Structure 1
Amino acid sequence: MAIVNVSDQTFAQEVESGTVLVDFWAPWCGPCKMIAPVLEQIDSEVGEKLKIAKLNVDENPETSGRFGVMSIPTLMVFKDGQMVDKVIGFQPKEALMATLGKHL
C-alpha cells in the first residue's frame, strides 16, 4: 500500500477504518525528512496491515490543532478513527515497529 497524503478535508475519511499511522510533518522540518525513509520501509513491510498517511501541518492547521500537535514529527496511531498511540520526534525503525506492533 502506498503512503497517502491527507488534508483537513480528507483526514476523517482516511482514518475512519482500520489501523492508520498519521505522520504530522512539514517540508522545512529536518527530523521529518529523516523519518520519511523509515516510514517507507515500514510501509513495504506491513503495508497490508497498516495505512500510512502524511499530513502537512503548515497546509492543514485545523487537523493538527484538533490533535494538539505542538512538535513535529508527531506520529499518531489511529484504530477505526480513534487515536490509540502517539510518538513525538524522530524514532528509529525498531522503536516505531515496537509501538506499531501493539496495534497490528
Structure 2
Amino acid sequence: MEGFEMCPRFEKAVDLLSKRWVALIVFVLMPQPRRFGEIESCLSNLSGKVLSDRLKEMESEGIIQRTVYPEMPVRIEYSLTAKGIALAPILGEIGNWSTDWIELAEQR
C-alpha cells in the first residue's frame, strides 16, 4: 500500500504479545499472583526454560513484577503490573472473538 506506514508502537506491542506463551502467561496471572511452578502447571506444554525467558522479558517490559519473599525457603511470586492489568480487556475481546469464530476439532 502506497503511503501506509506501520505505527512503531503498535508493531512493538504486536511483536511482544505474539511471542509464544506471553498472552497465555498474562491470562494465567490475571486472577492472582502465582509462583513459577503454578504458572508452569497451568500451561502444560510450556518448558521451564521458555517460561523463565518469557517472565524475564515480560518483567523487563514492565508487564509483570517479580516479588521475592525473604522466607525459608525463598518464595517468589509473579504478578501483573498496571501495564499488564491493562491487557485484560484486550484478552477478554480475544476470548469473545474466539467463542464466536474459532471451532475446535471434536474430542474423541
The TM-score normalised by the length of structure 2 is: 0.28
Higher relative contact order (CA 8 A, sep 6+): 1
Q: If each structure's strand is expressed as a fraction of its own residues, which one has the higher value?
A: 1
More helix by share: 2
